[in-house]
Amino acid sequence: MALLESTMPPLGTPAHDFLLDGIDGETHSLESYSEKEIIVIIFMCNHCPYVKAVLKRIIDLQNEFIARGVQFIGINPNDAIRYPDDSLENMKTIAKENNFSFPYLVDPSQEVAKSYDAVCTPDLYVYGKDRKLAYRGRIDDNWEHPKKVTQQDLKLALENILAGQLVAKEQIPSMGCSIKWKTT
């Protein structure tokens, strides 16, 4: 398992559209969420210990902010052939076991992950109503021990965006397992 930090694309970068199938059997696009104030795109997977460690926090944040127009979108970019734990069937199982309150999409071509410059799981990108990148970075300051968290970076960013305030320019990268890219 290779530990990587997110690439931190420039703030203000426009969101890239996508057309991906979800575990719900529906096809999702950026336009599917046009009425939402904020979109949080999280590149994630089923097997990475870093994702597993923060998954409850991701779900809790979605549940806390959903009524305020914030939509989380999980996207699994991993090569499910080489990593069967990340298959669509296992995505459905993980989502059901954890009561996901957000769509979980599969990126079989990995083109969406590449368009966002995603490199790790979890790797997250927050877009305001204008769909410009407002935050990219870690969820909080202690991925491993939720009771030791002292700084909730993602939550603060969401609060600031909803209040029409600036998000801190200095943002700390997310870190996690490398995306399992397909080999040719």
Q: What is the average pLDDT score of the chain?
A: 96
Q: How much of the chain exceeds pLDDT 70, in percent?
A: 99
b/e string for 70-107 if b means 16 or more Cβ within 10 A? bbbbbbbbbebeebeebbeebbbebbeeeebebbbbbb
Confidence at residue 1, expressed as pLDDT on a 0 to 100 scale: 60
What is the CATH code of the structural domain delimited by 3-178?
3.40.30.10
Q: Where are the domains of the chain?
A: 3-178
How would you classify the pairing of strands 38-43 and 70-76? parallel
20-33 confidence digits (pLDDT tens): 999 999 999 999 99
103-145 confidence digits (pLDDT tens): 999 999 999 999 999 999 999 999 999 999 999 999 999 988 9
171 pLDDT higher than 70:
yes
33-43 confidence digits (pLDDT tens): 999 999 999 99
